[in-house]
Structure 1
């Protein structure tokens, strides 16, 4: 039965905005959360605390999780929250306020009759705003209004009106703005008054724990290192992490995918291109694409790439809009890593060939105003090797190839450079690279070509004067290195003289920026002088480097110089001094050392030589192996000669004179013969002949070198004495007596030879006096080897009083026997003590208890015990007293 029309219910009249259009209910609905949404309690807590201020602003990049965060918080509140998505903000003031009033009504706020909806789309009555503020001010419970997508509100008048209502409503309104950009409100006033809470992009980023939980929701678990790499690449960006997790879930090897995915081939690219890039003006898109080739950029550099002058304003606006442009401070910006990857791929696809030109242009700008590393990177990316070489050489940075800090990076960067184009700069870089890779022959060939080109008068008129001076100075550095490697002291002196002459022509800022250049130059000069046997001059050059400061870039040359200085001390017969310098060189105990700097093999070689003198042959062999492994495979004559000499001495001590002779016969190629290398090599060979009963052959081998070398005089005297020519032996030792620059390693041997001579003359008192003298001089340095080499005549004397007392505990077993503390042979320190370990030892030497040391250093007792255990290990001792005694012997206290 039909219902008469007059009895049918009247349908509700739909509410409409000022344009007469029905309200879009989706704009008042709190967005639904995805199934894989991760609740982040730290942010929810921050929003709860934000209710103490009238204004809260949640602003971050697209996909940062702003809306879902606000929606999760709103859904968890115990009372209704007015929610408005501001998509109608561009339809006029009246439309915006009509939507806002409808949001308040739907949240349960009764509006009095005098608060009517605006009737015009383009305007709103000021009285309406005043009445609304008054109604909110009298609300029993403060109204919480969330406006999402507030970045769509671009009309300053709407912002002023909203600010008016917020201010006049007092505690009756708490406004939460969710936006990609900072709102147009006068935020500085709110901040100054403490009336605003802000949750920014950085706080919205996922923490490692949150990222792990999010991936776990997708069934993914990553090791900490892989998770850290993913967070670094995404910067904790919520949408990026979610999209990565979704994509990885479809892969057979999710872990590998998350490590190696190409951002431009993922849905992340679609998101960023649509939500960020394409929403920008054409000029902004162009700037973003061009700057995508840069790791960082400033407005001037960006202008250089665009050819315009508006980068400063654009970049500031992009940063303000959270458009994946990060501000680094001091006028520099960078792109979000994923955004940069995607933009670069888009650049290659949309503008083929432009990327290379941009790299070249960036290199040109950076060469004038930026960092060298960035200049080199862009020049290499443009395949402009001439520009790259000019930058490295012109910046006076060629020494960085040899410092150990950037050697690998520079070698890798220039690996793509071919032999052409050929110029002094490219030849110098090739020479340095080849030498650093131990291809010395090819390196010296390129160096010679560069030197010949620089010698031509026409070259100086082509380039900038400062660049030319830097190029010539770089060439002088490599010339000094070549001199060191070829054993050519004269060439090193000439190179050093050229460098000193050129120094005033090079800008002071370059010299200050690259202290390693002259540090390396003096290292090479000192090594060449050492090879020539000019120890005093070598020490002057080497000490200049050691005393010049502790910049990271000079750590390697300082270590090398310490190794050379240690060798000089050893050659002069001062093993303890040599050991101290060598230990400093091979350890990283001091704060200026860098873990990237390799250990110098020469210092390990000196420690091996000292170990031989102490008759610690196993340790000597281990140190020889360490020296061979640490030393570059350069034809460095100093290290090669030292290796042969110490190897021969170890073989002699092991009782294999034939093998020792073979080691001594190894030829070290060099332009100039080294007096000390020849003398010590001959000394090893003579000792081998003497061990096999050929004293005359030993004498003949040494007689040509007797005049200047103490080691030869002592060796020849031993051989003459073995041949029964006591008078000849005495004459040789008399020639050595006036010299005051020889240490105990020589004088102990001299005393023992004289003692053996005294036995032949029947002067037993003199013999014992000389042996006692030798024991006293050897004891501090624990020089055992001279006594082992002396022969069977010595053993009975050492068991007599008072000689036994002088020998016990270090040369002979002490009263407690071989197993007792005095009878144990102390081993040299191979690993240096840390500063804190030395602090503990100093207090140990003052007889302080463990508890007293802990209180004095403000650390725990367990920490003191840890330092003590480490110090005992390094000092090769087991007791406090022995640790203090050993440290004093080594000059550590």
Structure 2
């Protein structure tokens, strides 16, 4: 979109551009010396962005520029923009990295690995700039940027412009001579530079007055620009400079008294009304203010006022310097507070007409119209979810307040946010809210994938399997979304339904490949490996697990936690002890980062099994940990059975059900009736009430079921019954 594109270009240098050779030399030596980081750290209004934009205009290297905003703290959003900026500057395979960003939801380890691999392929120098980096306050993004700086190839230089130092280990970079720094004191304008900045007003001043003005502003760029606005009108420059102060405390009062007071009434009205915007074009100004000639007004104003900053080479998009913007907003709230919501509504309508629903939502919320914001989220929410921007989505939903509880789609989106954060009970709560407010005839299929993923996340294979069977009984797989097909295949895989799992996961992998849905593609392969291993084919499991790992590496997802089971299976089925040990260690590292209980327990079991087989006693505590993980799973499916058999094989415990399922004696009709209820999270008392029998009768039937299946507990009985096709 046009507005987003302005984030990926340096601001247009002002008409009164001053070449600052002494600072250009510092920047040149940083790039020429192949330092890893160029840090420009100084207070607001010091001229950081202008310095970098003008310096880069004279450099031969390709430049990737990202103008950070507050919303860019969302990891998926930040890395998507940075990858796009780099892709526009240099022919890296940005199209291959962006799906990794989306699929991993901006996971710093996953994204940086993929990005560094692409950057390593380029031969020509590249400068990557992030302006206003102080607006990024997400720990994951900070870790990722520091890692990117550490791992970037020699031909890439990272430049950060910020008001405060980033939370990096800067001392280590200084010791290694891998950083070039420009600080606030360096950015202060000396007398000669100030003269150029002030333009014609500066050239008419004698040296003594220029020295005095630099002293009063302490060389602060914004203060000098403000002084220049009034020097053009000052009858006595010396008297003006004597009274002028260029510090932060003076700025608001000065702008109000000396700038707004002399602006034409129509221009003043436009300035105040457009202050609600972060960035604007002529068309947007006209739509917002109900006037015409906005494009010319912007270009004319930018010529005489350096506090209106151009954002593209075409002179289309602009923004106010933050000092002027803040003053104008304050003044607008004092002058016409009752009109502010209406202005936001106009802005929202314009952005929606341009297809920019994100900005439309921002203005609807700013104007207090939460119902319209909720309506827009029906379109934009799924896009944010598909783009991995769950933090941005949750921020919007939080601002809706109780209105989110009245919207079917908002409740569903909230559920996805909670599920991704690993809060399954809250996710289920939002699914219940969705059911309560859903209108008659609402298609619940979009919620099915979430419901199945929640069930699998909690280790409730039975519930997930029921949902999968209900969906496949009424729809054709070709109609499903990629994530839903993968979830259906996963449910069958964890339930030990090899035939159905293979068919579904094969289709899921093909669909994901066609749609370039990288994470779903990899997960489908991972679940196929689980199926092959559970089916007893070590050779097939080794091949499939290796394919999953190799595919993940090709997509830059080698450090994605979802690949952990594939590494664990490759370790368990491999013939090389050294590689098996390395795979097991890597699988554990990945699984402990963000895996669900089901996947974590499975990886712990497989790695414990592998290590014990290699004579490493460290495998035994892993099995104990797996047992504790599965204890909180209602139905861990084949993963729980695998643990039971592994413990028995290594002599850790003699547990019934450790061998292949065998039906010792046929179940009676009443026992089959009770068996069908065992996968559900119902107590024996609830089952008795459902079947209209006594609790003792159910207990008697359960004991008979366990005996005939050769197992000792309910969960083992459920999986044994599945293996025997009784469920």
TM-score, normalised to structure 2, is 0.49
Higher relative contact order (CA 8 A, sep 6+): 2
Max Rg structure = 1
TM-score, normalised to structure 1, is 0.41
